[in-house]
Structure 1
Amino acid sequence: MKAARFHAQHDIRIEEIPEALLRPDAVAIDVAWCGICGTDLHEYLEGPIFISPKGHPHPLTHEQEPVTMGHEFSGTVSALGEGVTDLTVGENVVVEPYFVCGECAPCRAGRYNLCVKMGFIGLAGGGGGLSERIVVDRRWVHPIGAIPLDEAALIEPLAVGHHAFVRSGAQRGDVAFIGGAGPIGLLLAAVLKAEGVTVIMSEPSAARQAKALETGVADHVLDPSTEDVVARVRELTGGVGADVGFECSSINVVLDQLLDAVRPAGVIVNVSIWGKPATLDMQKLVLKEIDLRGTIAYVNDHPATIRLVQQGKVNLAPFITARIPLDRLIEDGFETLINHKETAVKIIVSPRG
């Protein structure tokens, strides 16, 4: 079968590889669509990062580069392993793409996203969504009902937004300020709107500003290149400040703005992955008693996330800006997102196209 394999920085190849063998308590899935994640771009430009380099196999999968990529994917069940009785062949599903040990303290506490050996399908090994077929343990497979398979490829990043919402403690009627309207920022905004939170976004890209407004996920969109976003947030909140802030850009000036824009005793959730250390004005944090929280991926978020889409509270279709075949992954996918990220939001790939 065809698969996109990471060999080294700037070296991802479309290759023919053997199909994975079905095993007990696992499910074979014919992949329909797979999204290109910002993490995939970091691996291509700077990796290996989460991918295990040669000589250092992952502790759970025991795999190292080259590995098959892709962790934001949807597909159809094509076979059931021994012991799987609650799914059917032909059922459409998405995958929570984890490897966890099940033995460390976070795993035992149910916080498997913090597993000390945690890895992701499509990065740590185990196949990936940028291939025609994959075999996944039943635990991680989630039925999606009638959600279209192309839209379902966005369930995984939407779950990232849902977990960030949960981490924030935001309540219906609160005001949230999001710094950055990239794919995660927009999908986080969609979750917040679905949960009754007023959303203010800051984003310099005109195309992404328009996407935030046309999809209805933001109540107010601010342009940090032309206006004082902190002053505007205070104006929009009657001088109080936002209840919660979300850092979705990995840009230090945005983090600084969030510290100024949230109200005293407000919460800031850092959602983005930083490529280098950030600086933090601790005096602002202390004097306003701001609660700064991290968030990573998701934990038990997929069922609630899927329900938001099934109930029509989140419409994923407008966030898909291109659909491409696997053979055009680099030219029309990675290069577009790297060089034209101001216009592209989410590009999804058909491994069978």
Structure 2
Amino acid sequence: MRALRYHGPGDLRLEHGIPEPCCSKTQVKVRPAFVGICGTDLHEYSTPTFIPDQKNTHPVTGESRPVIIGHEMAGTIVEIGADINNKSIKVGDRVSVRPTVCCFTCPSCEEGHYSCCATPGFLGLSGGGGGLSDYICVESDFVHKLPDTIGLDIGALVEPLATCWRAVVRSGIKNGDDVLVFGAGPIGLGVIQCCKAQGANNIIVAEVAVERRRLAKEFGATLVFNPLESDIVRETKKATHREQGADASFDCAGLEATLKAACLATRPRGVIVNVAIWEKPIEFNPNLLVFGERVFYSVLGYDKNDFEGVLNAIESGALKPGSMITRKISIDRVVEDGFRALIEEKDKHVKIQIDLLK
């Protein structure tokens, strides 16, 4: 079969004749249709973290480089194992894939918190197959059937939106609450939509790039500021109830300045949620949380409820993420029209998808 495999930093190869994966008794085989490229893919492309090197195999998948990439995916079930747990699915069903790799035996996994596994990973990064191939085998509990009204391209957006959904659920916002979002890249835009779907009132966004500020408004932001030109803390307080600050702030940028501003712009006993992967250590004064009894949460990944929450919201019309897809490309143009475009023209694109049906 065809597969796009990662051999090392900057080295992606479309290869033919890769053995087709065999479906175990608890798995389903999926033919991917659409696969999105995300910020994690871009980071791994140059500086691998989740992708194992040649000397160290991943403890769950047992694989090392080269690995098949692509973890934001939706496709069609073509084969079902003899003893699957998920009895609600069948051959021909269109599904979104939850690409969590976990051991199932550590304390976190035993409690159902698979994204907190002691040996975490993702399909499409850590071995076990990936979306950018003709076929992938997935545990049956980790596929989610798409309603008839949701296309496969939208189905491939469920994975990134599930992270955003989890962040908003974790914040505990209620109808009418005011929120602040730092960063309007793909995850920030997803958080904006999920806040709107879950009843937020004012959705205030801090973003430097002009085009991303425009997109933030398109997806539901009520106030958008350039943090290089405006005092975000002051503007947020002016826009919120009794000028106390946001009920919840979401840091989707992962910068020292944004975390500090998030704390200062959040009301006493409010919530700050980290939705970023940090590239380097920072200096942080915990008293920004202590004085005001603010709560700091973080999210990594998602669970079944987050996927189902996103699917239900899309089906009901509460989420309308289609315009996040700014380009569709073929698998033989992933580097040129996908990775390079997102690196060199990141402000022009939100989500580039690979159409595997071409």
User: Does the alignment reach a TM-score above 0.5?
Assistant: yes
CA distance in 2: counterparts of 1:87 and 1:286, whole angstroms: 48
1:276 is matched by which residue type in structure 2? K
Deviation by residue 1:61-107 (Cα, 9 ceiling, x = unmatched)? 10011100011000011121212443122211011111211211111
CA distance in 2: counterparts of 1:283 and 1:101, whole angstroms: 37
CA distance in 1: counterparts of 2:135 and 2:282, whole angstroms: 39
Task: State the match for 2:246 in structure 1.
Answer: 242
- In the alignment, does 2:283 pair up with 1:282? no
Deviation by residue 1:252-275 (Cα, 9 ceiling, x = unmatched)? 211121111101111111100011
CA distance in 2: counterparts of 1:156 and 1:201, whole angstroms: 23
Task: State the match for 1:14 in structure 2.
Answer: 14
CA distance in 1: counterparts of 2:73 and 2:188, whole angstroms: 19
Task: State the match for 2:204 in structure 1.
Answer: 200
CA distance in 2: counterparts of 1:221 and 1:211, whole angstroms: 10
Does the 8 Å contact 1:2/1:351 carry over to 2?
no
Where 2:348 maps in the other structure, the secondary structure is coil
Task: State the match for 1:93 in structure 2.
Answer: 95
Out of 347, 350, 355, the residue aligned to residue 345 of structure 1 is: 350
CA displacement at 1:32 relative to structure 2: 0.5
Structure 1, unpaired ranges of 5+ = none
Where 2:160 maps in the other structure, the secondary structure is helix
Out of 171, 176, 179, the residue aligned to residue 174 of structure 2 is: 171
CA distance in 2: counterparts of 1:288 and 1:342, whole angstroms: 36
Task: State the match for 2:273 in structure 1.
Answer: 269
CA distance in 2: counterparts of 1:299 and 1:167, whole angstroms: 12
CA displacement at 1:60 relative to structure 2: 0.7
Q: CA RMSD in A?
A: 1.2
Q: How does 1:186-197 map onto structure 2 within 5 Å?
A: 186-197=189-200
Where 1:342 maps in the other structure, the secondary structure is helix
Out of 102, 125, 140, the residue aligned to residue 138 of structure 1 is: 140
Does the 8 Å contact 2:260/2:288 carry over to 1?
no
Task: State the match for 1:291 in structure 2.
Answer: 295
Q: Which moves more between the two structures, 160-169 or 281-290?
A: 281-290
CA displacement at 1:163 relative to structure 2: 0.8
Structure 2, unpaired ranges of 5+ = none
CA displacement at 1:281 relative to structure 2: 2.4
Pairs aligned (count): 351
Where 1:78 maps in the other structure, the secondary structure is strand
CA distance in 1: counterparts of 2:114 and 2:44, whole angstroms: 23
CA displacement at 1:211 relative to structure 2: 0.9
CA displacement at 1:57 relative to structure 2: 0.5
CA displacement at 1:230 relative to structure 2: 1.2
Q: How does 1:91-170 map onto structure 2 within 5 Å?
A: 91-146=93-148, 147-170=150-173
CA distance in 2: counterparts of 1:282 and 1:88, whole angstroms: 51
2:14 is matched by which residue type in structure 1? I
CA distance in 1: counterparts of 2:3 and 2:52, whole angstroms: 18
CA displacement at 1:291 relative to structure 2: 1.1
CA distance in 2: counterparts of 1:254 and 1:263, whole angstroms: 16
Does the 8 Å contact 1:132/1:352 carry over to 2?
no
CA distance in 2: counterparts of 1:259 and 1:219, whole angstroms: 21
Deviation by residue 1:303-343 (Cα, 9 ceiling, x = unmatched)? 11111111111011111111010111011100111111111
CA distance in 1: counterparts of 2:266 and 2:113, whole angstroms: 28
Task: State the match for 1:306 in structure 2.
Answer: 311
CA distance in 2: counterparts of 1:191 and 1:69, whole angstroms: 27
Out of 214, 238, 258, the residue aligned to residue 254 of structure 1 is: 258
CA displacement at 1:225 relative to structure 2: 2.2
Does the 8 Å contact 1:326/1:352 carry over to 2?
no
Task: State the match for 1:33 in structure 2.
Answer: 34
Task: State the match for 2:187 in structure 1.
Answer: 184
Task: State the match for 1:68 in structure 2.
Answer: 68
Where 1:145 maps in the other structure, the secondary structure is coil
Does the 8 Å contact 1:176/1:245 carry over to 2?
yes
Q: Which runs of 4+ in 1 moved over 4 A?
A: none
Deviation by residue 1:148-186 (Cα, 9 ceiling, x = unmatched)? 111111000000001111221222211110000010111
Does the 8 Å contact 1:247/1:272 carry over to 2?
yes
Does the 8 Å contact 1:59/1:117 carry over to 2?
yes
Deviation by residue 1:231-289 (Cα, 9 ceiling, x = unmatched)? 11011014110011110011221112111110111111110001111221223222222
Q: Which moves more between the two structures, 150-159 or 206-215?
A: 206-215
Q: Which moves more between the two structures, 186-195 or 84-93?
A: 84-93
